Structure 1
Amino acid sequence: MAKPAKKNPASAPTRRPSGLWRAVRWLFVLFLLAGAAAAWFVHEDYRRFARTELGVGADEIVFEVKRGDSFSHVLRRLRSVGIDEGHDLYWKALAWETGVMTRLRVGEYALGHGLTPVALLDKLEQGRVIQHRFTLVEGWNFRELRLALAADTALEQTIAGKSDAEVMQAVGAPAEHPEGRFLPETYNYTRGTRDVDLLKRARLALDRTLDAAWAARAPDLPLKTPYEALILASIIEKETGVAAERPQIGGVFVRRLRLGMKLQTDPTVIYGLGSTFDGNLTRKHLTDDTPHNTYTRFGLPPTPIAMPGRAAIEAALKPADGDTLYFVARGDGSHVFSRTLAEHNRAVAQYQLRRRAGTAP
């Protein structure tokens, strides 16, 4: 009996994919295409967002990054000042891309018309902050300086309530008297700078200025130390009403010191009176002995009486030559300089006594 022939597998008909599998395959392809399209759309939308001007009006917005802020804090604050553009994820992606996420700079920033997200984050990364200015005025005393610092709302206040000695400890000069130890000029700083840090800068600037002037001083001055020069400079500063007269005033005081004469300068008397001075200097005040009264004591007072500027320090260490020993105010800021007491008395009669009497000289 013959056996049935075996079927050749190669000759078996090929199975075609079922309709279900074809649908799945097409769905997968469509999914990939949709994903690619969505990714392309998000990418283009992200790039468009990065280059689009923010909706800042004509007026600049002042925006602050505070110490310890994360980028999430910064983004919330941006939203609070009216920056509504872009999804938070876009901002965070751009922050990573530009490096801002790890390099936020503390300070105030001006957000103006035409600013894009890229430009804004570049500002934050570069630290292009608003600069504030504090001017330490020539002739201020330390009390006036402290009042001005306390009134500056852009500074972080750290010395309020501290004694003068504690402030000098904080600036790194515990052994120094504060008067005259800070250089008058304008200092730029950013919001949040500590008041004590600004004082440190002003003290360092004074030390450098005084050291340089002392090294270039005129020969044979009756001044033993840079500190004595600083004391004299503070007196010159308070006596000067016209800037060009500083060297002449310095010359008068230097010659009086050489001759052993009393300096007899009103600003030292006023400083010695302190808070008791009511603005009216009397003859009695000139005889009230204090360590700073140069009518009752010879030589320089024990400390500066104000903060002298660069020009006053220069005038103390490079005074003008001459032979005048006296000067009196004209009433317009300038002075009349005299060689002798007789000349001086005539000038006093002409410019001071008549002015006090209410008549023109």
Structure 2
Amino acid sequence: MAQPVKKKTAKKKPESTFQTWKWGIGFVVCLVIAIWIGSVSLWKQYPVQGDKQFVSINTGETYTHFIDNLAKEKKVKFPILLKIYQKFMIHDTLKAGVYEIKRGMSVRQVLDMMSNAENAQMNRILVIEGTTFKQLVARLRQDPLVDKTVVNLPESEMVQALGIPYNHLEGLFAPNTYFYNKGESDKKILLDLYHHQMENLDAAWAKRAPNLPYKDKYQALIMASIIEKETSLDDELNQVAGVFIRRLQTGMRLQTDPTVIYGMGDKYQGKLTKDDLRTPTAYNTYTMAGLPPTPIALPGKKAIEAAMHPDQSDNVYFVATGNGGHKFSATLDEHNRAVQQYLAVLREKKSGATP
């Protein structure tokens, strides 16, 4: 039998020198184009309205976020190249502050300028609602653009240095965004925040609803701080205020976790236990009746106004829904059902199911 003739497979010839050069030249051309585009992007003038413009950088903001915003606003092209430049050429982080950008400055100059807080024209002080006084003081201590004159003192000495007529400083400073010259003293900043808070409190107290269970406006400030810590939703502030005010009026204990956490101080490690709720402190509203002795945070203007204008429902309970917000109830049976619904949502989320 004749044997089948095997076809010879042609051996693949090695790539020619010409093809190698072709790929090499193509790579070099692409690299040169990329470098040229990057250079154009970096040396392009930063778009400024008028002769100069002020740009505010928040605490914690990153170069990536800043560059992405510039691209989103169509102020720069090829943001990836700007990020590469920042990664390899700017060996520092974006510094908070208010920067003056003059007409004619390039994008590269702006990026470089913002890596040094000394280049800031003004210092931006951001105080978030619900921040504690301890956190505010720590923020001022860490700010290189603030002149430290009082923040390193014990609180009792700080009270005297500030001349504030209260023994405890919690809650007395208004959350907001403030701008100060570089080198402004911490005393000036704290006094400004204090006066703003007193203005907010006085204005709300003068227009308060009738028959509120407060002895004075300081107790209203205490309530406002609790409301601030219980919800982050503006449309719930008055409802939360109503729940707690009705509890005070009927002799119920407030039983609010944020007061327990505040009373624990540094002992709190992110989770409350039943023992924590049963351990008496001056701030544990599960074991004590009435309001705690002082605010537990810095309440914002809206929380202060809510403390003066509670809703007019019959609700005396509320619990988280598990999906954002709270469920408010007038009876214990309704509340218990809402608690079970909340626990069911948590179980579904833990199992990976969609509630």
Q: TM-score range by the shorter chain?
A: 0.5 to 0.7
Alignment-mate amino acid for residue 122 of structure 2: Q
Deviation at 1:201, TM superposition (A): 0.1
Report the Cα distance in structure 2 between the residues aligned to 1:286 and 1:334, rounded to whole angstroms.
Answer: 23
Deviation at 1:250, TM superposition (A): 0.3
Equivalent residue for 2:163, pick from 145, 166, 172: 172
Deviation at 1:174, TM superposition (A): 5.5
Equivalent residue for 1:194, pick from 185, 200, 206: 185
Q: Is the 8 A contact 1:329 1:336 kept in 2?
A: yes
Secondary structure (helix, strand or coil) at the match of 1:286 reads: helix
Are 1:235 and 2:235 an aligned pair? no
- 143-152 or 216-225: which moved more? 143-152
Q: Is the 8 A contact 1:240 1:333 kept in 2?
A: no
Provide the identity percentage: 48
- 348-357 or 146-155: which moved more? 348-357
Are 1:283 and 2:274 an aligned pair? yes
Secondary structure (helix, strand or coil) at the match of 2:184 reads: coil
Secondary structure (helix, strand or coil) at the match of 2:175 reads: coil
Are 1:213 and 2:204 an aligned pair? yes
Equivalent residue for 2:242, pick from 234, 237, 251: 251
Secondary structure (helix, strand or coil) at the match of 1:238 reads: helix
- CA distance 1:285–1:142, change in 2 (3 Å): same
Report the Cα distance in structure 1 between the residues aligned to 2:172 and 2:165, rounded to whole angstroms.
Answer: 12
Secondary structure (helix, strand or coil) at the match of 2:328 reads: strand
Alignment-mate amino acid for residue 228 of structure 2: E
Equivalent residue for 1:159, pick from 135, 150, 154: 150
Are 1:267 and 2:258 an aligned pair? yes
Are 1:334 and 2:325 an aligned pair? yes
Are 1:149 and 2:126 an aligned pair? no
Deviation at 1:175, TM superposition (A): 3.6
Deviation at 1:243, TM superposition (A): 1.6
The TM-score with structure 1 as length reference comes to 0.64
Report the Cα distance in structure 2 between the residues aligned to 1:201 and 1:225, rounded to whole angstroms.
Answer: 23
Deviation at 1:170, TM superposition (A): 1.9
Report the Cα distance in structure 1 between the residues aligned to 2:343 and 2:142, rounded to whole angstroms.
Answer: 37
Report the Cα distance in structure 2 between the residues aligned to 1:325 and 1:273, rounded to whole angstroms.
Answer: 25
Alignment-mate amino acid for residue 265 of structure 1: T
Q: Is the 8 A contact 2:128 2:175 kept in 1?
A: yes
Q: Is the 8 A contact 1:292 1:302 kept in 2?
A: yes
Equivalent residue for 1:347, pick from 338, 343, 349: 338
The TM-score with structure 2 as length reference comes to 0.65
Q: May I ask how many residue pairs the two structures share in their alignment? A: 246
Alignment-mate amino acid for residue 133 of structure 1: R
User: Cα deviations across residues 5-34 of structure 1 (Å, max 9, x unaligned)?
Assistant: xxxxxxxxxxxxxxxxxxxxxxxxxxxxxx
Q: Is the 8 A contact 1:58 1:112 kept in 2?
A: no
Alignment-mate amino acid for residue 327 of structure 1: F
Secondary structure (helix, strand or coil) at the match of 1:203 reads: helix
User: Cα deviations across residues 203-234 of structure 1 (Å, max 9, x unaligned)?
Assistant: 00111110111010000011110000000000
Matches within 5 A, 1:11-90: none
Moved segments of 4+, more than 3 Å: 57-60, 108-115
User: Cα deviations across residues 240-274 of structure 1 (Å, max 9, x unaligned)?
Assistant: 13121000000111111110100010000101111
- Structure 1 counterpart of 2:131: 140
User: Cα deviations across residues 113-133 of structure 1 (Å, max 9, x unaligned)?
Assistant: 579xxxxxxxxxxxxx93322
Higher gyration radius (CA): 1
Report the Cα distance in structure 2 between the residues aligned to 1:229 and 1:338, rounded to whole angstroms.
Answer: 23
Secondary structure (helix, strand or coil) at the match of 1:173 reads: coil
Report the Cα distance in structure 2 between the residues aligned to 1:132 and 1:332, rounded to whole angstroms.
Answer: 37
Report the Cα distance in structure 1 between the residues aligned to 2:281 and 2:155, rounded to whole angstroms.
Answer: 20
Report the Cα distance in structure 2 between the residues aligned to 1:109 and 1:348, rounded to whole angstroms.
Answer: 50
Alignment-mate amino acid for residue 263 of structure 2: G
- CA distance 1:193–1:222, change in 2 (3 Å): same
Q: Is the 8 A contact 1:180 1:307 kept in 2?
A: yes
Secondary structure (helix, strand or coil) at the match of 1:133 reads: strand
Unaligned runs of 5+ in 2: 1-43, 49-97, 106-119
Equivalent residue for 2:312, pick from 277, 299, 321: 321
Q: Is the 8 A contact 1:263 1:295 kept in 2?
A: yes
Report the Cα distance in structure 2 between the residues aligned to 1:303 and 1:160, rounded to whole angstroms.
Answer: 20
- CA distance 1:152–1:262, change in 2 (3 Å): same
Q: Is the 8 A contact 1:246 1:312 kept in 2?
A: yes
Deviation at 1:137, TM superposition (A): 0.9
